[in-house]
Structure 1
């Protein structure tokens, strides 16, 4: 399937820093065939933030099932994980 903006998602992760956050989130994405296109993270004091741009065209899960899987993983590791479609994200944050 060709990459289109409707296949691209923005994933955000926020929480208290601890080892294993990146590994846990990217493990789910890898297992479900999600292609990470860009990733950035920062830690300010003890607050961890990560934003990823990913493509779900080849994913075994649809957007909602992937969102649920990542939210569950987030609960297990004590962070909040949210997903938005890239086109919705761009619309919400356009200047």
Structure 2
């Protein structure tokens, strides 16, 4: 399955790119319905880097949703277009049953 989201934001491209690369922004977008906790020993980075980031997800502050891998890659095309790709997947919990 491939899902692509395209929308126009009322900000400059650099501000949007910084927001996409921020774990803090991701956690704010998910809250208060879903809480994300980093499973990395050092916690969430200040800025996402390419690679795997393991998280625990919890709904409504009490219902475990399981572990998820956020697998990020960043592409910067010669024409200036910047792409963030998450090819991660749930690895435990109810969401992992949907990923099969």
TM-score by length of 1: 0.32
Between 1 and 2, higher relative CO (CA 8 Å, sep ≥ 6) is seen in 1
Higher radius of gyration, 1 or 2: 2
TM-score by length of 2: 0.31
Higher helix share: 1
